[in-house]
Structures are given as structure tokens and as C-alpha cells.
Amino acid sequence: MPPKKPLPPLSDEFIKGLWRENPVFVQVLGMCPTLAVTNSGINALAMGVATLFVLVGSSFLVSSLRAWIPKQVRISTYIVIIATFVTMADYTLQAVVPAVHKELGAFIALIVVNCVILGRQEAFAAKNTVVRSVVDAAGMGLGFTFALLCLGSLRELLGSGSLFGFSLFHFGPTSAYSFEPWVIMILPPGGFIMLGLLLLSFNAVAQWRTRRAAEVS
Amino acid sequence: MSAPVAIAQDPPAYKLIGTLALAGLLSGLGIVSVYKITLPTIEANKAAALESAVFQVVPGAERMERLAWRDGQLVPEPKGKGDAVFAAWDGAGAFLGYGVPAAASGFQDTISLIYGYNPEQGKVLGMRVLDSRETPGLGDKIVKDAHFVAEFDGLVVSPKIELVKGHGEAPTRWTPSPAPPSRRARS
């Protein structure tokens, strides 16, 4: 039997989700909420936090029960677990922050079909210990939130002239904007454009870092 | 001869069905528990939102009462369920108007809103959207565009027909007739 590969340290499992294996910028998963709810910073943050909660909760349960779930029904069981957490998150958001819940609308329910969550269960939580799975889920969830925040803030800034609801471009006593917002940025095409530009920047930075590391060594 | 390859047996059907059934049962329990825990807060949020909306769409209102339509008239029904209007009075007790919730199909989903209405003046006093799932940045302009929302303040909705002597005819009720009119209408 081939020798078992040593497992990477827990800190590595956490950090990989933030940058090296970022779900949005590297794995390009979960594009539906990424494009749909990032028209403002607050919506992006709320969606990111809800996804983080569902991801961590589902990974915890799937990893705890991995010995008992027959592999023939594993996907159905994972979906049931994920849907339960999403419904809990939906009711909690509706009770705690009704204004944000109103903004997000149907997209909270769509977290169930977010590829990031099912992908992590199948690829990681079903094959690793509970602690590892939870740490990996936390890293991925935070990486997803970070990506959404980048996209959401930029789109809101350019498309509405505000950041997290605070108008930034009011100059002078009149209420007329000095900056004419690019409405396209808060519409779907703007989402694609901004995401493409961020992917370009992210990959450029990653390549530069690799080159730097190669030059130094 | 090579050793026989061990083939993993599929688990029996009852185990698969049992796993899914158990998952469904536990999921149902979890969802119902969270629903029950959050229900009072959600209902309170909805009632508070509706109440504050009434005070916004009937300017100057300080007191309101929930009325329901029963047997051909409006009767007070503070804790009822179902369709209702809200009567509003100012601090001195003068009746200001009604807050009337309404809902209809929008582009994405149902839009529910509330408008203030004064029947004596025949005016809409104001409008606020309570619940909308419209596209942010496009359909949600009915919420976000302050100029659009302000257009409903004091909007006269009774038809007003003005007659100026020597011009036009008083509008008469149209009735079908087989023959064309025998005289030209006065210009």
C-alpha cells in the first residue's frame, strides 16, 4: 500500500480558501450569487456571511456523519443538509435584519444550489475529519465573502456613487450628483464586466508573485 | 490463476431509504424549530413595518386603527387577520384618511404597497412599497426614486371635468344606437 501523504497543517487549510484556492477568483464557482447580489456592498456582505454559515454548518454535519451516509445517496443527503441550513439562515435573516432580507429576496434560497457548498462537501468534508472540514469551510466561506465584497463595493461605487449606502460624490450644497453613476455597473452586464476585470487583476497579481518567488529562490 | 477480486456489495435498499428518511425527519425538525423560534420576531417586524408605513403615507397621523370590511361596512378589528384598512387621525383627533394596503403582480413577483387615501378630498396622500422582489437598480426605483414616490403625495384621483361656455358639450352617457347621429355635434 502506498505511504499516506502527510496532511497539510490546519492553518494551510484555512488560508488556501482566502487566496490560493479562492472559490470565486480561482475556482470560479458560485457565479450566480456572485453576479446577482453584488450590486451593493451590504448585499454582498450579507450573502457572503449567509454562505459562510451554511458552508461551515453543512461541512460540520457532513463530516460528522460521513461514516453513516451510504455513498449511493450521499448527494441527496448533502442537499437535504444544505437546504436545512439555508432555510434556517433565511428565517434568521428575516427576523434579525428584515431590511437586508428584503434586499436579497430570492437569492438566499439560491444558496442551496451554490456550487461552492456542494463542491466542498463532496471534495473535502466527506473525506476528512470534522476539525479539518470546518477549518476548510471557514476559509472557503471567508474567501467567498472577500470576493463578493470586492465585487460589490466596486459595483456600488461606480454604479450608484455610494459605498455601503453612504453617498460619496455629493459635492456642494445642491443635491445634484457631481459624478454621473454608470448604471450598467449595477445591472447584469456590469457584473460580468467587473468580474472579468477582477479575475484579470487577480491572475496578474498571482503570476507576478510566482515570478517574484522564482526570482528570489 | 489470479485471486478473485472482491466486489463491494451495494447496501440494501432499506438502508438507503432509511438514511434519506432520517435526514428528512431531522431536517424537518430543525426547520420547524427555527421557524417557531423566529416567528414572533418576524410577525412583529411585519406589523411594525406596516404601522410605520401607515404613518408615512398619511402625513400628520398620530393615531391609527385597523378596520375590516364586514357586512358592507368598516368595523374596528384590532387583531384580525386578512384584508384591512387603517384609519388615521392627527393629534387633535381630526380624521386624516385611510392607509390602504394593496398588492398586485410586478415584473418578478408580487409587489405589496400601501397608499394613504382621503375619500372627502379624493386624493392619494402618499405611497410606500412594503414588499418588492424587483430587480435592484431597475424595478426597485419605485422604492429608491424619491421623486417618483413624492409624486403620490396629494395626488388627486377623482375625475374632474371642466366645461367652458361655448366650447364642448357636457359629457352624456354613451348609449348604442343603430342609426348615425342626425345632427352634428356642436363644436
A171 is a domain residue: no
Report the length, in residues, of chain B: 187
- A and B: number of Cβ contacts within 8 A: 67
A119 is a domain residue: yes
Q: Give pLDDT tens digits for B87-127.
A: 998 888 888 899 999 989 988 788 889 999 998 888 899 99
Cα-based distances in Å from A131 to A17, A82, A124, A168, B70: 15, 18, 12, 43, 61
Instruction: Give the span between the Cα atoms of A32 and A171, in whole angstroms.
Output: 36
Return per-residue pLDDT of chain A as tens, 217 residues: 666 677 888 888 899 989 889 999 999 988 888 888 888 898 899 999 999 999 999 999 999 999 989 989 999 999 999 999 999 999 999 999 888 888 787 788 889 989 999 999 999 999 999 999 999 999 999 999 999 999 999 999 998 888 887 877 765 555 555 778 888 998 889 999 999 999 999 999 989 999 999 998 7
Q: Give pLDDT tens digits for B147-156.
A: 888 888 888 8
Which element (helix H / strand E) includes B30? helix B13-57
Contact (Cβ atoms closer than 8 angstroms) between residue A50 and residue A89: yes
List residues in chain B touching A: CB distance below 8 A.
10-11, 15-16, 19-20, 23-24, 26-27, 30-31, 34-35, 38, 41-42, 45, 49, 109, 131-133, 136-138
Which contacts (CB < 8 Å, 24+ apart) does range B10-13 have? B10/A72, B11/A70, B11/A72
Best B15, B39, B45, B141 residue to mutate vs chain A (most A CBs within 10 Å): B45
List B110's β-bridge partners, or say none.
B105
Domain extent, residue A84, equals 10-148
Chain-chain contact of B16 with A69 (C-beta, under 8 angstroms): no
Question: Residue with C-alpha cell 384590532?
Answer: B78
Contact (Cβ atoms closer than 8 angstroms) between residue A113 and residue A36: no
Instruction: Give the span between the Cα atoms of B21 and B11, in whole angstroms.
Output: 16
A80 is a domain residue: yes
The Cβ-side half-sphere exposure at B14, using a 13 Å CA radius, reads 0
A192 is a domain residue: no
Instruction: Give the span between the Cα atoms of A13 and A120, in whole angstroms.
Output: 12
Q: Cβ neighbours of residue A179 under 8 Å, at least 6 residues apart?
A: A161, A169
**The three three-digit cell numbers of residue B181, written as one number:** 347621429
A110 is a domain residue: yes
Instruction: Give the span between the Cα atoms of A31 and A214, in whole angstroms.
Output: 32
Q: What is the ipTM of this complex?
A: 0.77
Q: Chain A residues with CB inside 8 Å of B16's CB?
A: 70, 72-73
Q: Chain A residues with CB inside 8 Å of B27's CB?
A: 80-81, 83-84
Contact (Cβ atoms closer than 8 angstroms) between residue B128 and residue A102: no
Cα distance from B46 to chain A (closest Cα, Å)?
9
